[in-house]
Amino acid sequence: MYEQLNYLSISTLLFLISVVGICLNQRNILIMLMSLEMMFLAVSFNLIFSSILLDDIVGQIFSLLILTVAAAESSIGLAILVIYYRIRNTITVELLTLMSG
Amino acid sequence: MYITVIILPLIGSLISGFGGRLLGYYGASIFSTVCVILSFFMSIFIFYEVGFCNTVCNISLVPWFTVGTLSVNWSFLFDSVTAVMLIVVTSISTLVHFYSISYMQSDPHYPRFMAYLEIFTFFMLVLVTADNVVQMFLGWEGVGLASYLLINFWFTRLAANQSAIKALIVNRVGDFGLSVGIFSIFYLFNSVDYATIFSLAPFFQNYHFVCFGFSVNSLTLIGLFLFIGAVGKSAQLGLHTWLPDAMEGPTPVSALIHAATMVTAGVFLMIRFSPLIEYSTTVLSTLLIFGSLTTFFAAMAGVFQNDLKRVIAYSTCSQLGYMIFSCGLSCYNVSMFHLTNHAFFKALLFLSAGSVIHALSDEQDMRKMGSLATFLPVTYSLMFIGSLALAGFPFLAGFYSKDFILELAQVSTNSNLNNKLTALACWLGSFSVFLTAFYSIRLLYLTFLNSPNMSRIHLSKLQESDFPILLPLVLLSIGSIFVGYLTKDFFIGLGTIFWKSSIFILPYHSNFIEAEFLSVKSKWLPFLLSMFGALLASFTNIVTLKLGYNFKFYTFFTFLINKKWYWDSIYNKIVIYPILLFGYNVTFKNLDRGFIELLGPYGLASWIPSWAVNIRRLQTGQLTHYIFFMILGFCLFAFLPFCLSNVVTFTFPVIFYLVLVFFI
């Protein structure tokens, strides 16, 4: 059957990669949003696999919910991005330092 | 009547102090003087009733405070010692009040002066009449306070302020000893009443206080603490420095406080506590040593002073030494006798000096006087009487008491007792007699007999003082002549029952009878010494001695003694200045303004903003940094429980260094 460790490690790895993607990326805000989507993906991946493994439907329901939330979130995020681009004419992450302490 | 004696000066003080504006000069003088005169007459009656009719009176008014076993009452004890002290205090105070009427006539703060004199008399009466130690301490401190107010009477003068502060603080050193003595008395006897203490004292002869592993005889310790109090108040060697400086006050104040009453409080304390210190040989030896050294030192210092009042102040110091050393010989009644006689002739000397100073428009330097005998014959004759009484001229007051003290000291030397301390005291005391005669006669020569040295203007304005100044002098001179002879028999007469139980002398300390059987040579010795001193003083003043004055050693010696053996300078260098420096550098600058402030408000106020800057710098605005810290925080939270569960001792340094790294 499924070797659960592998699937878990795949999803964790995916999550960590996307974390690193957010952290290390200094240039492009689009990549950050994509990494965010990858994190959602990793989480839903994990939920689906565990629901199959535990033979429980709740994990799949959660992943469906996460799917919708992620879609909504990314649309809102893109909308903010567009507005921001309209104001600043750039989407570089490094220059987003207006709110420094 | 018994309470009225004490209350009258208080009433007089309050009224002339608070109502001084209404009373004015005449009102204040009449009112305050009448108050003390009444008090004086009543104390004569008390003296008669208590001293002659054997009616010792103990009046208990109301409880003062009661805490557990400590209960202190407002109560007054009138026994023989108190009666004598009452006579001394009120008579001298009356005469000084009367004297001040004229002496302080032109002073704008006259009612205040009278109020201070009265409050001083009141506190002195409280001191002598108290029947417990706490109430006595009230009078003791009150007398110190009154002396501060009086020395500082001309408060615009810097020297007066300094002297008053010095008097108060040096006295406070002694008062500290006294209060510790009172505490240990209460610890030992569980009571502060004289009656209880004195009746229990024999049973505590072998009782020891144990403190830090040292075992001290309790009565010795108490006696020594009480003696520290007496050292401060009675200006014994060590804490004597305040007395000569206290001459900054007006002259009547010097006569009242530093001649007759306040300084005798320490001697009075020793006499009062005779049933307690009799049981401790150590305390008696201490009294002997300190008393005789004070006598010698002060007499020596008095010889080379040039200030009229300072000479008399040093002679007071010297005579107080005699009193204390007579207490050390267990002859408390002789000490009391000398106290009484001394009060009369010393008040006479001070008041005459005041008269001289008054006549010379406040010139105090003896080198700028001379030949006043022609211009002030009355003052001269009175001061002559006072000086002879002080020098122990036969049949005057000082002769009966001082010479007897020396005879008693010689008894202990000559008999098989072979007491080295007493021999020392005897030698010092005998030599001081010589010095006393020397400076008394020197004072007379410099002031009255030598050729004039004052300015022509002063000389032209010289005139004898008026009646209120001369009357007390005459009365005091009569006292100085007759008091010793008249009261000798019931003060120190053989087998006198005057003292009853107020003074206690252990039978094997009593050597009155031996004093009667001294060899004639040693009985003549004090008289011969004082005559020699007087002759030497006359000789040095009449014949101009040329050869000695340029000796290096001689000049150094006189300079040293004129500077009072440099006691003040040594105290300033060794004690006062280091303490002040310590106070400024260590406690003020390093502790108060330094250490505590760094830990407290100043340090926090400066550290918190610098830390806050660091924390603020963490918020760079960079999204990636924020995310990094989020992940770091998450990792820490995930990692810390692991640390906590495994190596507990490892955790604290980890957290500490993390916090450190975070803030730095």
Q: Which of B484, B513, B545 is the last residue of a domain?
A: B545
**For residue B229, pLDDT beyond 90:** yes
A94 contacts chain B (CB < 8 A): yes
* pLDDT averaged over every residue in chain B: 87
Determine the longest span between alpha carbons in chain B, in angstroms. 115
Tell me which residue of B50, B89, B55, B58 sits closest to B75, measured CA to CA.
Answer: B58
How far are the Cα atoms of B79, B145, B416, B516 from residue B134, in angstroms, in the given order? 18, 16, 42, 40
Residue-wise pLDDT for B46-75, tens only, equals 999 988 888 888 899 899 989 888 889 999
pLDDT band at B662 (very low <50, low <70, confident <90, very high): low
* Cα–Cα distance, B541 to B294 (Å, whole number): 27
Which of B262, B225, B269 lies closest to B243, judged by CA? B262
Q: Express the helix, strand and coil content of chain B in percent, nearest 5 each.
A: 75, 5, 20
Residues of chain B that touch chain A, judged by Cβ-Cβ distance less than 8 Å: 615-624, 627-628, 631
- Are B236 and B298 contacting, i.e. CB atoms less than 8 angstroms apart? no
Closest listed residue to residue B143, CA positions, set B161, B167, B159, B163: B167
B622/A93 CB distance under 8 A: yes
User: B298-311: per-residue pLDDT in tens?
Assistant: 998 888 888 899 99
Whole-angstrom distance, CA of residue B477 vs CA of residue B480 = 5
Nearest CA in chain A to B624: A23
Please report the residues numbered 15 through 74 in chain A whose beta carbons come closer than 8 angstroms to any beta carbon of chain B: 19, 22-26, 32
Q: How far is CA B406 from CA B60, B334, B523, in A?
A: 40, 11, 9
Please answer yes or no on whether B628 and A97 come within 8 Å at the CB atom: no
pLDDT score at B411:
82
For B388-428, the DSSP string reads HHHHT-TTSHHHHHHHHHHHHHHHHHHSTT--HHHHHHHHH
Residues B381 and B444 reside in one and the same domain? yes
Residues 6 or more apart whose CB falls under 8 angstroms from that of B72 comprise: B63, B64, B65, B66, B132, B134, B135, B192
- A99 to chain B: which residues are within 8 Å by CB? 619, 621
DSSP code at position B63: E
pLDDT at residue B39, as a whole number: 93
What residue type is A22 in one-letter code? I
Tokens of B202: 């024999």
Q: Give the residue from chain A lying closest to B616, CA to CA.
A: A101
Mean pLDDT of B627-655: 73
Cβ atoms of B168 and B148 within 8 Å: the answer is yes
Looking at the complex, report in whole angstroms how far the Cα of residue A32 sits from the nearest Cα belonging to chain B: 10
- Is the pLDDT at B269 greater than 90, yes or no? yes
In percent, how much of chain B has pLDDT > 70? 94
Tens of pLDDT, residue by residue over B178-194, are 999 999 999 999 999 99
Per-residue pLDDT at A5: 63
Please say whether the beta carbons of B177 and B171 come within 8 A. Answer: no
Question: Residue B548: is its pLDDT beyond 60?
Answer: no
Q: Please report whether residue B13 resides in a domain.
A: no
> DSSP letters along B566-604, please?
GHHHHIIIIIIHHHHHIIIIIIIIIIIIIIIHHHTHHHH
Mean pLDDT of chain A: 85
Q: How far is B604 from chain A (nearest CA, A)?
A: 22
- Sequence length of chain A is 101
Residues B341 and B426 in one domain: yes
Query: How far is A49 from A8, CA to CA, in rounded Å?
Result: 8
Minimal Cα distance from A94: which residue of B?
A: B622
- B325 and B418 part of one domain: yes
User: What integer pLDDT is reported at residue B546 of this predicted model?
Assistant: 59
Rounded to the nearest 10 degrees, the angle between the axes of helix B520-542 and helix B397-414 is: 130
Under DSSP, the state recorded for B247 is G
- What pLDDT, on a 0 to 100 scale, did the predictor assign at position B424? 83
B229/B267 Cα distance (integer angstroms): 10
Average pLDDT in the B438-457 region?
Answer: 88
Q: Is B498 helix (H, G, I), strand (E, B) or coil?
A: coil
Whether B291 and B358 share a structural domain: yes
Q: What does the pLDDT read at residue A32?
A: 87
Q: Which one-letter amino acid corresponds to residue B618? A: L
Q: Above pLDDT 90, what percent of chain B?
A: 40
- What number is the average pLDDT over the span B210-224? 88
Alpha-carbon distance B616 to nearest alpha carbon in chain A (angstroms): 5
Q: Cβ of A101 and B627 within 8 Å?
A: no
Backbone phi and psi for residue B130, each to the nearest 5 degrees, phi listed first: -65, 150
Domain final residue, candidates B479, B510, B545: B545
**Cβ–Cβ of B622/A97 closer than 8 Å?**
yes
Among B517, B545, B573, residue at a domain's last position:
B545
Of B161-170, B550-559, B628-637, highest mean pLDDT: B161-170
Q: Which of B513, B503, B509 is nearest to B280 (CA)?
A: B509
Strand-strand pairing, B57-67 and B70-78: antiparallel
Q: Please report residues of A whose CB lies closer than 8 A to that of B612.
A: none
pLDDT at B238: 85
Residue A79's pLDDT is 93
**A100 vs B620: CB contact, 8 Å cut-off?**
yes
CATH code reported for the domain at A1-88: 1.10.287.3510
pLDDT value of position B509: 80
- The Cα of B627 is separated from the nearest Cα of chain A by a number of Å equal to 6
| Chain length of chain B | 664
Query: Residues B519, B522, B523, B528: is their CA dihedral positive or negative?
Result: positive
**CB burial of residue B484 (10 Å; 0-12, 13-18, 19+):** buried
More reliable by pLDDT, B557 or B233: B233
Number of domains in chain B: 2
Chain B, nearest residue to A22 by Cα: B624
Q: Do A23 and B631 make contact, defined as CB atoms within 8 angstroms?
A: yes
Shortest CA gap A66–chain B (Å): 21
The answer to whether A89 contacts chain B (CB < 8 Å) is no
pLDDT at B223 over 90: yes
State which residue of chain B sits closest to A101, comparing Cα positions: B619
Q: How confident is the model at residue B646 (pLDDT cuts 50, 70, 90)?
A: low
Residue B381, exposed/middle/buried by CB under 10 A (0-12, 13-18, 19+)?
middle
Closest-CA distance, A20 to chain B, in angstroms, reads: 9
Measured between beta carbons, which residues in chain B are less than 8 angstroms from residue A101?
A: 615-621
The answer to whether residue A84 scores a pLDDT higher than 70 is yes
Amino acid at B320: L
Q: What is the pLDDT of residue B40?
A: 94
Instruction: Find the mean pLDDT for residues B351-367.
Output: 87
A-to-B residue pairs, Cβ atoms closer than 8 angstroms = 35
Nearest to A22 among B617, B620, B627 (CB): B627
Residue A93 has its nearest CB partner, among B617, B619, B624, at: B624
Task: Indicate if the pLDDT at residue B338 is higher than 90.
Answer: yes
Q: What is the maximal distance between C-alpha atoms in chain A? A: 54
Name the residue in chain A with its Cα closest to that of B620: A100
User: Hey, are the CB atoms on B618 and A97 less than 8 Å from each other?
Assistant: no
Centre a 10 Å sphere on the Cβ of residue B47 and count the other Cβ atoms it contains: 18
Angle at B68 between CA B66 and CA B70, to 5 degrees: 55
Q: Which residue has the higher pLDDT, B622 or B230?
A: B230
In order, the DSSP letters of B612-659 are HHHHHHH--S-HHHHHHHHHHHHHHHHHHHHHHHH-HHHHHHHHHHHH
- Percent helix / strand / coil, chain A, rounded to 5: 75, 0, 20
* CB-based contacts of B63, cutoff 8 Å, min separation 6: B71, B72, B73, B74
- 3-class SS of residue B54: coil
CA gap B527, B430 in Å, rounded: 10
DSSP H or E run through B215: strand B214-217
Calpha distance B97→B284 (Å, rounded): 37
Q: Give the other-Cβ count within 10 Å of B203's Cβ.
A: 10
Q: Which helix (H) or strand (E) is A48 found in, with range?
A: helix A29-54
Residue of A nearest to B628 (CA): A23
Separation CA B237–CA B170 (nearest Å): 12
Of B250, B236, B355, the residue nearest B296 (C-alpha)? B236
- In sequence order, the 6+-apart residues with CB closer than 8 A to the CB of B654 are B643
Note the pLDDT of residue A2: 58
Q: How far is B611 from chain A (nearest CA, A)?
A: 14
When pLDDT is cut at 50, 70 and 90, the band that residue B436 belongs to is: very high
Q: Which residue has the higher pLDDT, A92 or B444?
A: B444
Q: Let me know: does B434 contact B532? Beta carbons within 8 Å.
A: yes
Question: Among B615, B620, B623, B632, which would you mutate to test the A interface (most chain A Cβ atoms within 10 Å of its Cβ)?
Answer: B623
CA separation for the pair B272, B384 (Å, rounded): 33
Assess whether pLDDT exceeds 70 at residue B398. Answer: yes
Facing residue for A96 by CB, picked from B616, B619, B621: B621
Pairwise CA distance, residues B505 & B272, whole Å: 12
- Are the CB atoms for B239 and B231 separated by under 8 Å? yes
Cβ-based contacts of A20 with chain B (< 8 Å): none
Q: State whether B621 and A98 contact (CB < 8 Å).
A: yes
Residue A24 and residue B624: Cβ atoms within 8 Å? yes
Task: Indicate the residue type of B573.
Answer: K
Report how far apart, in Å, the C-alpha atoms of B295 and of each of B167, B323, B336 are.
20, 9, 17
In this prediction, residue B340 has a pLDDT band, given cuts at 50, 70 and 90, of very high
- Domain assignment present for B389: yes
* Nearest chain A residue (CA) to B626: A23
Mutate to test the interface with B, among A18, A22, A25, A29 (most CBs of B within 10 A): A22
- Joined together, the tokens standing for residue B301 give 């210092």
Q: Do B624 and A22 touch (CB under 8 A)?
A: yes
Indicate whether B281 pLDDT > 60.
yes
Residue B304: both structure tokens together: 């080379």
Contact B617 A101 (CB under 8 A): yes
Domain extents in chain A: 1-88
Contacts 24+ apart (CB under 8 A), B22-30: B23/B111, B24/B111, B25/B105, B25/B110, B25/B111, B28/B110, B28/B111, B28/B114, B28/B115, B29/B97, B29/B100, B29/B101, B29/B110, B29/B114
pLDDT at B44: 93
Give the pLDDT band of residue B413 (cuts 50, 70, 90): low
Q: Which residue of A has its CA nearest to B629?
A: A23
Domain that holds residue B656: 598-663
* pLDDT for the residue numbered B12: 92
Asked if residue B435 and residue B321 are part of one domain, the reply reads: yes
In the prediction, which pLDDT does B271 show? 93
Lowest mean per-residue pLDDT among B135-139, B356-360, B493-497: B493-497
Per-residue pLDDT band for B14 (boundaries 50, 70, 90) equals very high
Residue B253 lies in a domain: no
